[in-house]
Amino acid sequence: MNKEQKQIKKIIDEAYGSLRCLNNITWTSYREDLFEMNKQDEKRHRFNRPSNDFEASINDCAKMFTVQNIAESLLKENQFNIKDLINIRKSCLYAQSIVENYKDKILEAWKDQDIKYLADLDYISLIDWKHYQEILSRRVA
C-alpha cells in the first residue's frame, strides 16, 4: 500500500470510527451489521482469486463500502426502493434505512468529514493503485 492509499485508508478509518454511535442506539449494532454485509460481499468477490491481486485487506474494503454506503445515502435520499433489492448490494439499501432513521446522529458524528469525498471513494484506488492511475489518465485524455 502506497502513501496515497494509506491516506485514503486513514480517512476511511476515521469516518468508520465516528460511526460507532450507530452501535449504541438500540439492541442492534447497525455499523457492525453493515460492515459484516460488506465484508461478506468482499469475500464473495475475492473467492478463488490470489490475495496478492488486492493491495487492501477485506476488512479495509468492507470499511470503505460501509462509509461510502452511508455517505451516498446522506447525499441521495431515497435513492433506492424495494424494487431495487434484487439489483443492488443489500448493504446499499440497509445503509439507506440507517440514514433515514438516524441521519441526525450520523451528521453529528461526521461534522468534520467531507461527505462528498466519502461518497466518491473508489474501490480501485484501494486495491490497485496503478490501475486506478491508468483509469484516471484515460478520463483526462
Q: Where are the domains of the chain?
A: 3-140
**pLDDT tens, residue by residue, 65-106:** 999 999 999 999 888 888 888 999 999 999 999 999 999 999
Residue 141: the pLDDT is: 62
Contacts (Cβ under 8 Å, ≥6 apart) of 72 = 79, 92, 95, 119
Q: Span 102-118, mean pLDDT?
A: 97
Report pTM.
0.91
Q: Tell me: pLDDT of 140 over 80.
A: no
With beta carbons less than 8 A apart as the criterion, state whether 15 and 110 touch.
Answer: yes
